[in-house]
Structure 1
Amino acid sequence: MKTILNFKTGNFLFRTGIFLLVSAPIFSSFLFLFSIFISSYKNYKNFLLDKWNYPFFLASLFLIISVSISSLDPFSNKIEGWSNYLNWVSLFNWLPLFFCIWAFKPYLCSSKSRKIILLLLLSGSVPLIISGFLQVFFDMHGPFNIFNGLIIWFQREGEPGLTGLFNNRNYASLWFTILWPICLAILSQRKNGSKFYIYIFSILIISSIYLTFSRNGLINLFLSSFIFLKASLSIWIFLFLILLITLLIAAVTNIFPISLKEFAISILPSEVIGRFSIFENLEVFTSNARFSIWLSALEFIKERPFLGWGAASFPILYETQHDICCYKSYLQWYGHTHNIQLEMALNYGLPFSLLINTILIFVFYKSFKKIFLFKRKDKNLEEINLNKFEKAWWTSSFTFFFSQLFDIQYYDLRLNIIFWIFISGLIVKIQEPVKKAKNLQEI
């Protein structure tokens, strides 16, 4: 038994789960479960010693209290057609993943370990790229069966943009933008050797983001490039991205001379310009469905600020108020609030939302200081190269968090797992001196 329950086995299962996450999430989930069991079994004595567990324990307590009180008849939301069962089931989107933050730490205990995770994430995404290109260029939608139907890949026909294995273009675009900083980290390595394949891979990822026709994806591409390139790569690439952003703003607004607007429209793809046309003026922006959703969500939160309305309550509330079905068209989806902070507050109350987001902002702040601002004069080439991957880790994590301000892809199993793995890695980075002092076993 001891031979099986060792860190090497857990590490192998965890890394294999990372590699299979996007293409075989069910297999990946079982591998993660076994790796969690092993790390918990080996490190259970350290659970209460890790002070980073306390805020997530408090958040879990808020969550359970909110759901429990809302289950009582005097405090029920009284929404016709809504079941409290949804509230209890929704806990699986949060509580197990809070525990995973601690359980995954031994597998993320060093910069080298985190680098390997990023490389596995990148290489494991090849099926996503292939499926997307088969869908767009060859009109192949599947289904493709593997292992006698145990794994099925397919893309829904009739949907605009590349969706790939996610079957949703916004989910796919977020995954691609998570991969993009990893490509930048590899390209910025200070060592000899051909980078031909990673250049090809980078072009494929950028092309995939464009083919999703996702506003969020393009914004995240620019954001992650800005964060990473500003400190790590050529100033010319950075200036090129600024030029592209300027042209896009010129094409969809009237703040630049008409000659520049016409030039920008002539060279930028019409699909990209169309996706950002809502920013043309304030009237167009405020008439957008998403703006209406945010205002409605704020009104609902005011009515039940401490307990929330319960998971999956928003589409019913919105339909009751506006007499609009949750799905009107692919551009008008009313199934959630399109903002994770509003979503948490509306579902479970403001205390839970404020606590979780405060924790995450603090994690990003502390880890940013250690990764981007902390400098040592005695860094060798290996440390410099590893730091590029640390920057990619932070950038991918923050890109995910930022994207949830305008849409919610969190509820996809693959995406919420990788997000909390990223957060776990950032906390490990913050803890590094403490970790070494407590002799946390590294894999």
Structure 2
Amino acid sequence: MNNAYFLNLKNNFLDNIGWSCFQLGVFCLPSSAFISYLFLFVALVNGSIKRRDLYWREYWNYPLVLVTFLMLIGCIRSHTGSLAWFGLFNWVPFFWFFWALHPYLLTPERRIKCASLLVLGSIPVLITGFGQLWLGWEGPWEVFDGLIIWFVSPGGEPLGRLSGLFDYANITAAWLSGVWPFCLASVLHPFIVGRNRVIPFVLLVAFIAAMILTNSRNAWGAIVLGLPLVIGSASWSWLIPLMLICFLPVIIAVLPVFDFGIQQFARSIVPDSVWMRLSDMQFVDTRSFEATRIGQWKVAVNLIFEKPWLGWGAAAFSIIYPLRTGLFHGHSHNLPLELGISHGILVSLLINIFVFSLLIISGLYGIFNRLNSTKNIIVDRAWWTSTLILICFYATDIPLFDSRINILGWILLIGLRCMIYNYKSQNISIKKI
């Protein structure tokens, strides 16, 4: 690709209404999807002006165009009728989104601003989450004559798990996990509130506490995964052994390979809610195999093999799974499998290759490249880590069905694409660790 393509974008959109609307849309995203969509739509239109003829020069768009055609063909032959067409809204508009929002994340300074807004915009999630658990707050709360509605469940949703203004604790966990690396990065290299470290540290503690209180295993894993990646490889020689020592009691309490006496001692140290949650012992007598993730994935794989090329159509799993097992689940709890069921193996492969290519190439050029001396590298590491964390979420859940999480994911992917351009324009060659 011609480098002047992106450079022209940077100059054309440096100071315009699109950038202001993008910032407002990002800040409002967790609190009000509707208001965020209005601002982001203006940013999308503004980001597309004078660029329609350049869409085909962006080679990262090619797999998305092919996926669009395959999805459309699949919808024509789907088994879920209108649901298949409605399912396209989870994907096709975001292929335009990926291209049109490049100008707003093109520079490191803009990515830093976006990261700050994601953190600050998450404060209502934290406040409502702590309020529902500790103060018994209960919604719905309406602002601006119902324009913003927060459905805050007293005691959390499910009960006892922090969900805040989101509908479900796992969705809240996905949002907080995707944003918390920016808090950690700002503690190490302040950027959220000037050079102040106190406020980012308070927010970091609040984020970690909220993630723990969601009782989401994915969120707990995000804490463990995020620390060494954001802090950087220079710390791994002491940080990873220290983390292993700290988590050793949890490992002993969960894995059934240790001596019974030692395991019981570890379980006396580790809170019951933690080791039981990690080992799934609370369901040992009440949960059938079909209700587990493995049971759902087994059915999902069978469905893919039955219609491998174009799939069954969107929402097929939620229709067919109850017919075959007598149990209801809205999705297969694994995004590659869900794509394979709904749209076929080719679509699933193309989307996964697209996402992992962005992740790997941006990592090799910048995040894990010893030749990269960019001063904002820690923010890029946090950005890369946030993307990886959300990808890991999609291995055991599908939070993108909440459009706010879907938008967050695409914003992170756009940032990776812009990082690759930045690193290439600086002529940083690839050098492994």
TM-score tier after normalising by the smaller chain length: 0.7 to 0.9
CA offsets 1:358-378 (integer angstroms, 9 cap, x no match): 11111111011122222338x
The answer for the alignment partner of 1:301 in structure 2 is 304
Distance change in 2, residues 1:436/1:367 (3 Å) = closer
Query: CA 1:53 to 1:435, structure 2 compared with 1: closer, same or farther past 3 Å?
Result: farther
State the Cα deviation string for residues 10-41 of structure 1 (Å, max 9, x = none).
00100110001000111001111110101101
Asked whether 1:154 is paired with 2:154, we answer no
Give the counterpart of 1:90 among 65, 87, 90.
87
Match in the other structure for 1:440: none
| Partner in structure 2 of residue 127 of structure 1 | 124
Q: 1:195 to 1:262 in 2, by over 3 A?
A: farther
Pairing 1:409–2:409 present: no
Contact 1:162 1:212 in 2 (8 A): yes
Q: What code does the residue aligned with 2:356 have?
A: I
Counterpart CA distance in 2 for 1:36 and 1:433 is: 25
- Pairwise CA RMSD: 2.7
Residue 247 of structure 1: how far off its partner (Å)? 2.2
Decide whether aligned partners of structure 1 residues 193 and 104 sit closer, same or farther in structure 2, where only a CA change above 3 A counts.
closer
Deviations 1:302-345 (A, max 9, x none): 11111211111112211111122x1xxxxxxx211000000000
Query: What is the aligned residue count?
Result: 410
SS of equivalent to 1:208:
helix
Alignment partner of 1:21 is 2:29 = yes
Amino acid at match of 2:38: F
The alpha carbon displacement at 1:226 in A equals: 3.5
Q: TM-score normalized by structure 2?
A: 0.88
Letter in 2 for 1:343: E
In structure 2, the residue matched to 1:374 is 369
1:296, distance to aligned residue in structure 2 (A): 0.6
Unmatched 5+ stretches in structure 1? 71-76, 78-82, 327-333, 438-443
SS at match of 1:12: helix
Q: 1:436 to 1:227 in 2, by over 3 A?
A: closer
SS at match of 2:311: coil
**CA distance 1:60–1:434, change in 2 (3 Å):** farther
Residues 91-137 of structure 1, C-alpha deviation per residue, up to 9 Å, x if partnerless? 11100101111101000111111111001100110000000011000
The alpha-carbon distance between structure 1 residues 237 and 203, as it changes in their structure 2 partners (threshold 3 A), is: farther
Q: Deviations over 1:182-210 (max 9, x none)?
A: 12211222899652222211111111011
CA distance in 1, matches of 2:220, 2:323: 34
Partners of 2:234 and 2:370 in 1: how far apart? 14
Q: Is the 8 A contact 2:137 2:153 kept in 1?
A: no
TM-score, normalised on structure 1? 0.86
Q: Which of 341, 348, 351 matches 2:336?
A: 341
Equivalent pair of 1:178/1:400 in contact (CA under 8 Å): yes
Greater relative contact order (Cα 8 A, min sep 6): structure 1 or 2?
A: 1
Match in the other structure for 1:250: 252
Which residue of structure 2 lines up, in the alignment, with residue 432 of structure 1? 422
Consecutive unaligned residues of structure 2, counting only runs of 5 or more, are 1-11, 428-433
Alignment partner of 1:267 out of 247, 266, 269? 269
Residues 333 and 397 in structure 2, CA contact (< 8 A), matched pair in contact too: yes
Q: Percent identity?
A: 30
Partner in structure 2 of residue 354 of structure 1 = 349
- TM-fit CA distance, 1:266: 2.1
Secondary structure in 2 matching 1:276 = helix
Q: Does residue 112 of structure 1 match 2:112?
A: no
